[in-house]
Amino acid sequence: MGDQPGNEVRLPEKDRLTLLGEKPLVAETPAELLDDDTTPIQRFFIRNNGLLPELATEPDAWSLTINGEVERALRLTLAELKSHFPVKTLRMVLECGGNGRSFFTPRAVGNPWTHGGIGCAEWTGVSLGDVLRRAGLKDTGLHTAHYGADPDSSGDPDRPAISRGMPIAKALEEHTLLAWAMNGEPLPFYHGGPLRLVVPGWPGSLSQKWLKRIWVRDREHDGPGMMGLSYRVPVHPIPPGAAANDVELRVLESMPVRSIISTPADGSVYPAGTRAITVRGAAWAGDDAVARVDLSVDGGTTWIAAAMQPPRNRYDWVRWTATLRLPGDGYYEISARATDAQGRAQPVRPTNWNPNGYGCNVMHQVVVTVGPAP
């Protein structure tokens, strides 16, 4: 399924992103620009939920409050986070929960993401778990609640744009970071600088930008982005287009297995007589691991296994390559199918329709032509 056209984002910091929304600012990355092992900042997607906050003029003075079900509330500046806790750098995927939404039929509510609500950057920071342990978690501390400095789209400064949270086990996982750097540079403003959460493997909405407070709660958080249909999907499949008002829902947690083709670009034309082409891409699988990636040029009649590069650390994406043999000139649709360690593979078409279009992991397809374009 090729990417749908859109307007390019004209920001000096960004390189040919496709604009999906202006207020709040939302932009995805064309798949062919995701051909690097580490996604460059200028090609990393943008997902905002409200208005932009004020720019921090003294980043190291930025403060984070940890309170709620802890023995001692903490208020730490960014400078203190850098100096008081072990610092780590991890390359990890961040993916929008609505990535792939535009492929649902009938159309689901929300920004029409294709395959580009994804990026894999090197994040530098400290484990949230180390900070929570310093605060002293009480036995009643079961769930987090996250608050950033970005106001709601209404402009009301007392209304958060989004406030999500996670079970304490995910918060304590060593890869869940309080991050202040991205690809070795101070965290850019558009990506939540000077401080953000990075919660790998789960919807990007948990990775709160411009982070100001983490409230440890004795119950599942009920902030904006946690209630109703927000980041929730039916426990049992429902017919496409059906209402979900009286349907049992679950919070979307680990994202499903997925793969993209980054080379060749959709619509590429090769000289007549070309009989082999190199295909590259990436795969990831939420909390799970990628077991294999297979490619087809005949609609899934036959599959060829791709060679996979080992991930640098957990939650890094798997870069893969394959050489595809073509029987002759003509038109070909290349499909990529990733499978996770549990044996769950990407579907040919979306099978988990939900009203807000979360978790679509349909196979990525690109079209190529060998010889004169028809």
Over the chain (374 residues), the average pLDDT of each successive run of 10 is 52 87 94 98 96 95 98 98 98 98 96 98 98 98 97 87 98 98 97 98 98 98 96 96 92 98 98 97 98 97 98 98 97 98 97 96 98 77
Regarding whether 262 and 197 lie in a shared domain, the answer is no
224 within domain boundaries:
yes
199 within domain boundaries:
yes
Regarding whether 204 and 137 lie in a shared domain, the answer is yes
The domain boundary, picked from 228, 251, 274, lies at: 251
Regarding whether 236 and 186 lie in a shared domain, the answer is yes
Total domains in the chain come to 2
Confidence (pTM): 0.95
The domain boundary, picked from 251, 283, 316, lies at: 251
Regarding whether 318 and 197 lie in a shared domain, the answer is no
125 within domain boundaries:
yes
Contact 338, 257 (CB under 8 A): yes
Domain that holds residue 264: 258-370
97 within domain boundaries:
yes
Q: Residue 107: give its domain's CATH number.
A: 3.90.420.10
Q: Residue 279: give its domain's CATH number.
A: 2.60.40.650
1 within domain boundaries:
no
Regarding whether 349 and 211 lie in a shared domain, the answer is no
Regarding whether 224 and 262 lie in a shared domain, the answer is no
Regarding whether 43 and 157 lie in a shared domain, the answer is yes
- C-alpha Rg value of the chain to the nearest Å: 21
Regarding whether 206 and 73 lie in a shared domain, the answer is yes
Regarding whether 276 and 243 lie in a shared domain, the answer is no
How many Å apart are CA 362 and CA 22, to the nearest integer? 26
The domain boundary, picked from 204, 224, 251, lies at: 251
Regarding whether 294 and 231 lie in a shared domain, the answer is no
68 within domain boundaries:
yes
Q: Smallest Cα–Cα separation from 99: which of 203, 235, 15, 241?
A: 203
Sheet order of strands, 211-217 included = 74-77, 63-68, 211-217, 143-148
Residue 12: per-residue pLDDT: 66
Regarding whether 234 and 140 lie in a shared domain, the answer is yes
Over residues 300-355, the pLDDT tens digits come to 999 999 999 999 999 999 999 999 999 999 999 999 999 999 999 999 999 999 99
2 within domain boundaries:
no
- The pair of structure tokens assigned to 188 is 């850019």
- The pair of structure tokens assigned to 124 is 């530098």
